[in-house]
Structure 1
């Protein structure tokens, strides 16, 4: 409502009485915030968004788009809409999102999220929903710029997201979705430079994190968050697989995710990864391995063949079939750059292990050294080095 639309006498009275003017402005501002708080404070909208998110994570892209259109009808010009579309693109293509055509669509939705988040509160970065959506969009941009080797772009987005993260530290009681983002920050602010020391000089101006608090916040987010509840599960599983090296802890999250989202091959591949330690692979459903192999995406075929090799080696004891599967796994991923190194290294390790057991020293050394060369897993490095020590 503009001043020109007010009744003349009311407008005149406001200008005469400064206190009344201030009260009127405050009321207008509170009405504005109430109008904008249409997602997290509205149970009906929360229910619709949660249903949409479930379709996204179950890789039912068309069904998700129908629900996103319904969200858009209820929340026109709200950043939740492009964020949901971005997530739909992400989970339809994960983990290979950095292909130009995919990333252009993905990043375009995230840029629109940022634009609408700024519009939500006039760029003041004060409204919780505006903060959350801009922070989330910039965080995803930073993650995938880094994934594609654009480290300066990643750092730029991370720096912009950091100012919003600081606000999020104070808002997790009001908006539980901040539990996931602050949990991720607290954990990776300490753990990432610990694992990759080259980044330490670049992070000195970021507030220190807290590894245990981060894990606790992620756990809490799995119970309370709206948009980020599933992401919290995914991050916890990934942390216990690739950073804490506690695969048994990852298993409970991955069993839940694969049972809840049976169409999601990415989650199924992570479930199998969590079962690779000790004798746990005996619990691996062979039907999941077959699903991965049958995928028309080479990333999942590569993963499926690596796990099939492990199944033949450890469960059925057919080493000949294991060798064939491991080699096919390596070949299936030959056209993929920047992704799938875990599955390739798992196949090289399996071949090295079999050749070492057969006394084929030269072949064993070659494959074990190859596993170490490309590995991103300390567990694979440790096993390969232990076998090499025995050989040499």
Structure 2
């Protein structure tokens, strides 16, 4: 039971559920999504941390989470500061009222403790949020923020029930979810004009790309996300991988790969170098041995800079496709995080021709 709660809460907290209480908060999030960190920091600094402590800590936590990607891999000084900004949720289930900032803080706290292996603390932080969600599954919630949470619960409940037999045996502890309802509600939230719609776009891009293995739909939402926030390097991965999954190489894809490589942060450099090697592999202009060399060089860079199972699985898949070496396939399977086009699984579209 605990495992399922944590898995669900991990996904509910992945991008930060947020109801923004004033125009300053809205502007902070727009700047964070646009990677305008100086502007976001300036607005947050103008908020009184004493009289508006909840909102101040809420925004500071999100600022750190976006600036220090991935937050759970940072040094103790950064992690301690981040942890101090996280607030505790206060939910009134009976009246169905809650403080949006504190709910968000509870989800971020659950995510933080989950990634650090503190599962009991993660469960404590998230249990109140689960109590809220389970009361908003039957009827479509009017509030977009609650609708987002409920949509994610609906989807991931069925996802884990179907994809993980171990979790499937524990599913009877929880209220039933429906995947199609979850996707429908997510798409409806994504069509609204709000910050919450941005979060829905992130989830839809990820879900359709890596979980539903539907790159056409993934690209549709990744493109909308890119149009809204063209400077967000984190969003590039959804856009690039959707194109790669369709066997497409565009000028915009190459431009984004170069921006990732040119980033001052190693985290983004790893993505850029990985994607560049895969892009060269798709082009089919190089000899097989040259492709193998480039892909292995990308793997070496990733391994020398903290590793990364997802990127490694993409590279090992390309290496296996290029060389036919079964050892590369074994390594792909070992590192595989998602079963989708870029790890060798045929997408759902009809008459689809995978080019990598």
**SS of residue paired to 2:317:** helix
- Aligned mates of 2:95, 2:329 — CA distance in 1: 53
1:368 aligns with 2:332: no
Q: Is the 8 A contact 2:148 2:185 kept in 1?
A: yes
Corresponding residue for residue 7 of structure 2: none
Q: Is the 8 A contact 1:305 1:325 kept in 2?
A: no
**SS of residue paired to 1:245:** coil
Structure with the higher fraction of residues in helix conformation: 1
CA-CA distance at 1:186 after TM superposition: 1.5
Q: How many residues align?
A: 325
Corresponding residue for residue 192 of structure 1: 160
- Aligned mates of 1:244, 1:222 — CA distance in 2: 18
Corresponding residue for residue 245 of structure 1: 213
Corresponding residue for residue 317 of structure 2: 349
Alpha carbon RMSD of aligned pairs, Å?
3.1
Q: Which has the larger radius of gyration?
A: 1
Alignment of structure 1 residues 142-291 onto 2, 5 Å: 142-166=110-134, 172-173=141-142, 175-200=143-168, 203-224=171-192, 226-282=194-250, 285-291=253-259
The runs of 5 or more residues in structure 1 that have no matched partner are 1-38, 357-363, 385-392
- Aligned mates of 2:70, 2:160 — CA distance in 1: 20
TM normalised by structure 2 equals: 0.79
Kindly indicate whether structure 1 or structure 2 has the higher relative contact order, using CA contacts under 8 Å at least 6 residues apart: 2
- Aligned mates of 1:76, 1:176 — CA distance in 2: 28
The runs of 5 or more residues in structure 2 that have no matched partner are 1-17, 347-356
Corresponding residue for residue 312 of structure 1: 280
**SS of residue paired to 2:141:** coil
CA-CA distance at 1:81 after TM superposition: 3.1
**SS of residue paired to 2:72:** coil
The 1:193/1:78 distance shift into structure 2, 3 A limit, reads farther
Q: Is the 8 A contact 1:49 1:227 kept in 2?
A: no
Corresponding residue for residue 106 of structure 1: 82
Instruction: Out of 269-278 and 100-109, give the one that drifted further.
Output: 100-109
**SS of residue paired to 2:176:** coil
Corresponding residue for residue 109 of structure 2: 141
CA-CA distance at 1:73 after TM superposition: 5.3
